[in-house]
């Protein structure tokens, strides 16, 4: 268990006041409304659980729909409108950009990129999709914009995108990640981003890469699953210098994915290490 007291290391953000109480972010991804694998009951339950949690922010990292159709978007919106949180950040996924679905996204959810600054925490999300393609890209044209946005003093910087920036174990052959992942990772390191939240692969996982923690969410409400993964969403709790990411299974409890200190970069991945022990490796 990481301690929540001072780490003894200089904190470059110490002049900025962080949240005075634990700051909770519910991270939902990959609803896939309209898919034959979409399970309304799971989505209903996840919304009830998130509302009970009363997070400061809810982020939804794409694949709201399965094919970008208007009726799928309307269904997704009918669910997301029930989230009782003043700060809901939504970005599209590759499935949402099929069939020119991004026009419905803009009409129903607004701009495809977002920025929230709250209690010293800076959160920026971008649309990493390309119309009708499954791979993702951030693009050189946005590197400077990200640098400018993240230049704002903050105790924690969080970047949202749909696609994965790093390979995720247990997802089969590697494909469809962000084409400019290397350059994007360097931009995020340079801009002192602490945490990346993404979806896409439907497998929850966490990596630390140098100063950066990259955390994937699973699919919240679909049975488009790989191996033995189950529908789930993530809850990120920022409590002083400790960030904890828990994956929650609608109806069925929770497990900690990773706990880390943004200042010392110490981390623990209890669930992942426990699974490895179970496998005897």
Q: Which residue is nearest to Fe ion (CB)?
A: 63
Provide the pairing of β-strand 233-239 with 205-209.
unpaired
* Residue 167: strand, helix, or coil: coil
Give CA separation, 25 vs 22, 119, 175, 241, in Å. Answer: 10, 13, 28, 15
From CA 241, how far away is CA 156, in angstroms rounded? 10
Q: Of 13-21, 85-93, 179-187, 253-261, which part binds Fe ion (CB under 5 A)?
A: 85-93
| Residue 201 contacts Fe ion per CB under 5 A | no
Closer CB to Fe ion, 7 or 66, in the complex: 66
Q: Of 35-43, 58-66, 125-133, 135-143, which part binds Fe ion (CB under 5 A)?
A: 58-66
| Residue 241 contacts Fe ion per CB under 5 A | no
| Residue 112 contacts Fe ion per CB under 5 A | no
Candidate residues 93, 101, 125, 136; the one interacting with Fe ion per rule CB under 5 A = 93
The distance of closest approach from Cβ of residue 155 to Fe ion in the complex, given in angstroms and rounded to an integer, is 30
Burial of residue 11, with CB atoms counted within 10 A of its CB: 0-12 exposed, 13-18 middle, 19 or more buried: middle
The distance of closest approach from Cβ of residue 70 to Fe ion in the complex, given in angstroms and rounded to an integer, is 19
Task: Please check whether residue 132 is in contact with residue 97, taking contact to mean a CB–CB distance below 8 angstroms.
Answer: yes
Closer CB to Fe ion, 130 or 239, in the complex: 130
Candidate residues 33, 35, 94, 234; the one interacting with Fe ion per rule CB under 5 A = 94
| Residue 30 contacts Fe ion per CB under 5 A | yes
Provide the pairing of β-strand 121-125 with 114-118.
antiparallel
The distance of closest approach from Cβ of residue 31 to Fe ion in the complex, given in angstroms and rounded to an integer, is 8
Annotate 4-56 with DSSP letters as a single string: -S--SS--TTTTS---SS-EEEEEE----BTSTTB-HHHHHHHHHHHHHH--S
| Residue 72 contacts Fe ion per CB under 5 A | no
Least Cα distance to 57 among 96, 95, 85, 91 occurs for: 85
| Residue 96 contacts Fe ion per CB under 5 A | no
From CA 229, how far away is CA 191, in angstroms rounded? 33
| Residue 259 contacts Fe ion per CB under 5 A | no
Closer CB to Fe ion, 132 or 186, in the complex: 132
Task: Considering only residues 136 through 165, tell me which ones interact with Fe ion, judged by CB under 5 A.
Answer: none
Residues forming the site for Fe ion (CB under 5 A) = 30, 63, 93-94, 200
């Amino acid at each position: 268990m990481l301690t929540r007291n001072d780490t003894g290391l200089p904190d470059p953000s110490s002049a900025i006041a962080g949240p005075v109480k634990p700051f909770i972010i519910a991270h939902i991804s990959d609803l896939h409304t309209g898919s034959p694998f979409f399970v309304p009951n799971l989505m209903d339950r996840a919304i009830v659980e998130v509302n009970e949690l009363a997070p400061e922010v809810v982020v939804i990292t794409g694949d709201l729909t399965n094919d970008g159709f208007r009726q799928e978007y309307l269904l997704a919106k009918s669910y997301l409108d029930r989230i009782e949180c003043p700060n809901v950040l939504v970005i599209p996924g590759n499935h949402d950009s099929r069939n020119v679905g991004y026009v419905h996204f803009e009409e129903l959810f607004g701009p495809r990129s977002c920025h929230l600054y709250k209690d010293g925490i800076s959160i920026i999300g971008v649309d990493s999709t390309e119309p009708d393609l499954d791979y993702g890209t951030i693009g050189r044209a946005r590197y400077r914009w990200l640098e400018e946005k993240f230049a704002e003093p903050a105790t924690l910087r969080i970047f949202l995108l749909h696609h994965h920036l790093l390979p995720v174990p247990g997802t089969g052959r590697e494909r469809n990640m962000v084409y400019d992942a290397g350059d994007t990772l360097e931009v995020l390191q340079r801009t002192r981003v602490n945490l990346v939240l993404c979806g896409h692969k439907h497998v929850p996982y966490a990596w630390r890469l140098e100063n950066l923690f990259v955390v994937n969410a699973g699919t919240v409400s679909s049975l488009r699953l790989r191996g033995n993964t189950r529908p789930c969403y993530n809850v990120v709790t920022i409590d002083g210098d400790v960030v904890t990411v828990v994956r929650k299974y609608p109806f069925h409890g929770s497990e900690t994915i990773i706990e880390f200190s943004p200042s010392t970069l110490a981390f623990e991945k209890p669930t992942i290490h426990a699974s490895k022990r179970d496998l005897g490796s």
